[in-house]
Structure 1
């Protein structure tokens, strides 16, 4: 079963255009994050020889998980930080089903409350799934967006939110930032902070730096375009244990080789096959095709150091990619539990620098075991879209402000002793800035045997975040398989257009004067 929405769209893999090869092609996938693992799976399942090269000592990107230790020497499981596995992440979930067909290593979060600095709280518990009843029910009970506020909206300006069409929404709104767009439609300020800002910051950027088209697409994917709902699942143990180590074993059982702790430095056209891949140890690997599934910084570096790749226009598009502002993940081991009524996940709006709190011992096996043994708690605090400052003073101040917010929201934690903590500062997520979409590189490149994949790569389907990574990985595999006369893998998404014809027509009339954007490669 793909999902519960009766209007799931199936994107059938293109029919093979090439003839089957007598020799087994060999593909190098650079990057062992979600995109790279999806690409490797799509290829290995069709009998292609696959080698995955990852510069971390463990699987990369959001697939990362490793073991650390508390000050007393107790081993602890850590990862990149909390991620929500929404139920409309069809292609990611299909990847996870390779080793967990019924997704039994995931559990549902019962609620996803949002709270702001004024103490106003909204919840997604018990909402109907089907649009537009989900939005109307949410507004009917919301303290920040009561139904009476609907009359104050500029309905014509807001029409694209309710009638998103992919990729047309980028022609309509990519030239406007999300904050300005929300002001133009006269969206209530309180609701703006508590709803849209929470979602935009989950893209690791403040609304003023994010494309309004991405905001509208996100609203479509998670709310008005899908009847899967806004609740989500989380792994029942550390991400590597629950999800990615089993997938690594699955790939290796299909003949794939995964090499960690090795950094690809450049890709050269030629060699004994189509490409020659160089790494930081001085080794070379020849391959019939390459999938670059790195983060933005890694992709820019490899292409800059690989003068054989692409043409001037494509190379300039790669170099124009930007990373979102830094973010912080602060995990805490406390010697006292949090109150039993606290939700497993709480999102905040207008409470900088805190964006969300996760009570990990509510659902993660390793955290629960530690909490039970020590009568304590394991929490995780996230701060997104931070200033690009990494001085010790700024880091210390940010952590102290996060703790102050935690104590404000969960007062019982103020008297708890911190037994251990683990802090990660990262800046490796893509920025979806104003006007970026038209020039964002796509999965296909000027080389028919070189593909891109990742959450920063353009694919004109309604997908985002981890689902975009997985979808581009499958798409990269499909593009190569078709050339070798092999069947690809079907993809699934929420509807590519708004679900209601009247709203779609209104949006098209409203935005008919928008200037068309340039096509991507």
Structure 2
């Protein structure tokens, strides 16, 4: 998809043939965004692809499923930002004009006990958006600028990725925000909300990722902070159509099939599943973070010497390198649990309630969605029952919190934000608690596993996988899926797909200063 931002960067595909000289097979483990992205590019180049998915449907952590009485449930609201170039490119395979995505008119943010911020009227292009936000924001008074640390603030626009990821090794988002000295309300609304969208508490979240998020969505991109959402549940609007497209390419999709172990023979990879063994020339591991670690550990369980030999790393140095990689993978962590509470109310909430509201400073509540504002199925239910379908999110939960307490505290927060919900009967409720997201913690950025691995024919993809581009969440999943497919195709001398990225450099590095710095870097090389 062609970006609106003139500074967006395209990474052209490595030149190669348009088709394979000899048939190739690839197994993709995981039918989330990363796995579907990799499978799409590979199948379009003529690769025979098999997708293995442990769940019953496509979409992974962006899936949706039916519940009783013609209702649907999902793992929660997702914003499809205009910066998600590669995800939008993927979705365009089954929806060329992206008609199934509809714009949300505003992205209000409210701090408990404070006013509401809006992004609807500020300019999209930096630095006008920064100036517009400060001038329009009721939570960021101009007098608050006097307390901001200028040097730290300049770091937000003096970025150059991927180097800027490494700049913050060992520093948490909390520590960075302490250095920044934003006014307290502005700190929560302008930056801490970004950290919690990674399902993490700022004290355990990478400052580099926080800075990248602020750059990608605000300080470095001309796409703006507004976003689109699917016009119906994820399965209906996104994954069923894409699944049909993949079926037309001959992709074999095995849902409700768990991968138990993976192994490598001299000429192929094998995946032991609950339905049997699948052999293929290469493997894309695009499972959730814990499953990725578990499956990689099944490779490590083989004799070290044999695995090192297969990796082309004979000798003690090669075995040590491979051992270090296994260790880096094994020590990655999951983020704390998160909760999604979906409520079907017998009466409608106030008509001025936005489709999506970000919240900060409450006991548990991180955002509220009113689904009938944009989702066709929820709209039908709301019209039939003269009610509303409301979804609540809570990130970075304490492990010991009981479900009843969780629901009560979320409802208490909702009643404070939307007081009319106190008196409305709840006809149905669905609570989901999961803890399967990766954690971008403060350890060195280069220690996170990337798309490439030391084992030929094995590539990784997912939003928990290291990527040199300033992308995150769903877009990192799609981007690493494309990168994984491109790497495999490159080994077969077949051209992959071009990849788009938000601008890798910040405002301070785009003009004359940026050109001088790039020239100095080239000279030093």
TM surpasses 0.5: yes
- Alpha-carbon deviation of 1:186? 1.4
Match of 1:291 in 2: 284
Query: In structure 2, what is the Cα distance between the partners aligned to 1:389 and 1:495?
Result: 41
- Alpha-carbon deviation of 1:213? 0.7
The answer as to 2:387 corresponding to 1:376 is yes
The answer as to 2:360 corresponding to 1:361 is no
3-state SS of paired residue (1:240): helix
Query: In structure 1, what is the Cα distance between the partners aligned to 2:83 and 2:376?
Result: 25
- Residues 328 and 503 of structure 1, relative CA distance in 2, 3 Å threshold: farther
The correspondence of residues 189-338 of structure 1 with structure 2, limited to 5 A, is 189-270=184-265, 273-281=267-275, 283-307=276-300, 308=302, 311-338=322-349
Cα deviation 1:305-347 (Å, max 9, x = unaligned): 2234672111111101111010000000000001111111000
Query: In structure 1, what is the Cα distance between the partners aligned to 2:168 and 2:143?
Result: 27
Query: In structure 2, what is the Cα distance between the partners aligned to 1:75 and 1:504?
Result: 59
The answer as to 2:88 corresponding to 1:80 is no
Does the 8 Å contact 1:267/1:278 carry over to 2?
yes
3-state SS of paired residue (2:378): helix
Match of 1:6 in 2: 6
Match of 1:99 in 2: 94
Query: In structure 1, what is the Cα distance between the partners aligned to 2:501 and 2:146?
Result: 32
Does the 8 Å contact 2:20/2:45 carry over to 1?
no
Where does structure 2 lack aligned partners over 5 or more consecutive residues? 312-321, 518-525
Does the 8 Å contact 1:317/1:439 carry over to 2?
yes
- Alpha-carbon deviation of 1:389? 2.3
Query: In structure 1, what is the Cα distance between the partners aligned to 2:232 and 2:512?
Result: 42
Query: In structure 2, what is the Cα distance between the partners aligned to 1:408 and 1:454?
Result: 37
- Residues 6 and 253 of structure 1, relative CA distance in 2, 3 Å threshold: same
TM-score by length of 2: 0.92
Match of 2:58 in 1: 59
Query: In structure 2, what is the Cα distance between the partners aligned to 1:502 and 1:3?
Result: 18
Query: In structure 1, what is the Cα distance between the partners aligned to 2:42 and 2:363?
Result: 43
- Alpha-carbon deviation of 1:171? 2.5
Query: In structure 2, what is the Cα distance between the partners aligned to 1:497 and 1:27?
Result: 35
Query: In structure 2, what is the Cα distance between the partners aligned to 1:456 and 1:493?
Result: 17
3-state SS of paired residue (2:299): coil
3-state SS of paired residue (2:156): helix
> After alignment, is 355-364 or 441-450 more displaced?
441-450
Match of 2:522 in 1: none
Cα deviation 1:188-240 (Å, max 9, x = unaligned): 11111222111110010011111111110000000011000000000000000
3-state SS of paired residue (1:500): helix
Match of 2:37 in 1: 38
Where does structure 1 lack aligned partners over 5 or more consecutive residues? 510-521
Query: In structure 1, what is the Cα distance between the partners aligned to 2:434 and 2:173?
Result: 23
Which of 464, 474, 478 is the aligned partner of 2:482? 474
> After alignment, is 477-486 or 288-297 more displaced?
477-486
Query: In structure 1, what is the Cα distance between the partners aligned to 2:389 and 2:90?
Result: 29
Match of 1:514 in 2: none
Query: In structure 2, what is the Cα distance between the partners aligned to 1:386 and 1:505?
Result: 44
Query: In structure 2, what is the Cα distance between the partners aligned to 1:22 and 1:358?
Result: 50
- Alpha-carbon deviation of 1:351? 0.9
Query: In structure 2, what is the Cα distance between the partners aligned to 1:409 and 1:118?
Result: 10
Which of 485, 496, 510 is the aligned partner of 2:493? 485
- Alpha-carbon deviation of 1:504? 10
Aligned residues: 498
Query: In structure 2, what is the Cα distance between the partners aligned to 1:157 and 1:402?
Result: 35
- Alpha-carbon deviation of 1:160? 1.4
3-state SS of paired residue (1:389): coil
Query: In structure 2, what is the Cα distance between the partners aligned to 1:493 and 1:171?
Result: 19
Which of 406, 414, 417 is the aligned partner of 2:422? 414
3-state SS of paired residue (1:421): strand
Query: In structure 2, what is the Cα distance between the partners aligned to 1:362 and 1:152?
Result: 40
The answer as to 2:381 corresponding to 1:388 is no
Query: In structure 2, what is the Cα distance between the partners aligned to 1:156 and 1:121?
Result: 28
- Alpha-carbon deviation of 1:168? 1.3
Does the 8 Å contact 1:163/1:503 carry over to 2?
no
Cα deviation 1:249-283 (Å, max 9, x = unaligned): 10110010010011111111117x411111134x1
The answer as to 2:410 corresponding to 1:402 is yes
3-state SS of paired residue (1:353): coil
- Alpha-carbon deviation of 1:144? 1.5
What is the alpha-carbon root mean square deviation over aligned residues?
Answer: 1.8
Which of 113, 117, 135 is the aligned partner of 1:118? 113
- Alpha-carbon deviation of 1:365? 0.3
Match of 1:460 in 2: 468
3-state SS of paired residue (1:285): strand
TM-score by length of 1: 0.92
Query: In structure 2, what is the Cα distance between the partners aligned to 1:63 and 1:41?
Result: 17
Query: In structure 1, what is the Cα distance between the partners aligned to 2:398 and 2:508?
Result: 40
Does the 8 Å contact 1:20/1:484 carry over to 2?
no
